[in-house]
Copies of this chain bind each other. A is one copy, B any other.
Amino acid sequence: MDLEELLNKPGEWLKGKGPDSHIIVSSRIRLARNIKGFVFPNKMDLKQSQEAFEQIQKAQAKSSILRSFNFLKMEEFSTLDKELLLERHLVSQEHITTSQGKALLLRKDEVCSIMINEEDHLRIQVIKSGFDLYDTWEIASKIEAEFAKNLDFAFSGSIGYLTSCPTNVGTGIRASCMLHLPGLIMTKRINRILELVAKLSFTTRGFFGEGTQAIGNFFQVSNQITLGLSESEILSNLAGVIKQLKSQEMEAREYMVSKYKLSMEDRIWRALGTLKSSRLIASNETLSHLSLLRLGMDLGIIRGLDTELINNLFIIIQPAHLQKIYKKKLSHQERDSIRATLLREKLEKISI
């Protein structure tokens, strides 16, 4: 598979479709599974990891659902291609840092990406745009069942699925939503709310997952507990928290608009002005402005923008994407310059 193909359009999860997608960008399910009789990936030698590949590929070949997925060996990718997959949220940082014996099974629309031999033998990720945890779960569950037809998963009757890290033991499920919360940031309510979320045993991360900051006012909220609850309990608990966050965000936006309409409009239009005029722009600055554009679109202030374009910009202004799009290695300043050019092109028709 040529990764260039991916550049032509954003992954499905960035389409800005699905319920409540103005605040809840995407819903994601991740299932961790391991194959009985194999040591966990961090203990595997090369031969064992090849054997695991073979078993997985056999299971894939027998499934009409999995057959169309691309089986991509991580070590065959250039560093740039691996960075591209990371920027698209298809693999983890760990999966690209040491890529030997690791692979990726990828569905073309990027709804499903399966890391092989990351922390666990299988890390099935399903990600969809909007607030749609149950549908996302159903897809993930169906894909897991396809593997289960031909693979024996490591499973204990008393505690459930066994995983490399004890925090995933049991259901092996991590469910999360990516939320856009500029209103809670502007009203400075965000910290208090995230503290409450943590007390309820949910985890918050930034746009690029574990260890990343909340750039662009995006937050990923996920379950922490994987043991002692059923999958549907986990999903319904998370859905409850997400709904709460959504209504808090809506309240915050209403408050800002009612109290500070003009200065909100000013900030939003200036963000567009900067994106349309700068000649050098760093990626973090871009993400902040794009976040305001998204808000401006949601509030009906800026017209003529579509969510898919803006969501896609969040991804394609990243370093690896820029270098793939412009087909060359770029220095830091060249990237800032080309990023600015790309933004001006993409936003050309939006008037300030």
Interface residues of A (CB under 8 A from B): 262-263, 265-266, 269-270, 272-274, 276-281, 333, 337, 340, 344, 352
Q: Which residues of B contact A352 (CB under 8 A)?
A: 273, 276-277, 344, 352
Q: Is the interface of A mostly helix, strand, loop or mixed?
A: helix
Closest approach, in angstroms, between the C-beta of A332 and any C-beta of chain B? 12
Closest approach, in angstroms, between the C-beta of A341 and any C-beta of chain B? 11
Closest approach, in angstroms, between the C-beta of A3 and any C-beta of chain B? 29
Q: Which residues of B contact A337 (CB under 8 A)?
A: 262
- Integer count of this chain's copies in the complex: 2
Q: Of the candidates B270, B276, B277, B333, which one forms a contact with A262 in the assembled complex, judged by CB atoms under 8 Å apart?
A: B333
Chain B residue with the shortest CB-CB distance to A352: B277
A263 touches B276 (CB 8 A): no
Chain B residue with the shortest CB-CB distance to A273: B277
Q: Which residues of B contact A263 (CB under 8 A)?
A: 280
A279 touches B269 (CB 8 A): yes
A270 touches B266 (CB 8 A): no
Closest approach, in angstroms, between the C-beta of A116 and any C-beta of chain B? 43
A274 touches B270 (CB 8 A): yes
Q: Which residues of B contact A274 (CB under 8 A)?
A: 270, 273-274, 277
Show 6 A/B contacts (Cβ-Cβ < 8 Å), sorted by A: A266-B281, A270-B277, A274-B274, A276-B277, A344-B352, A352-B352
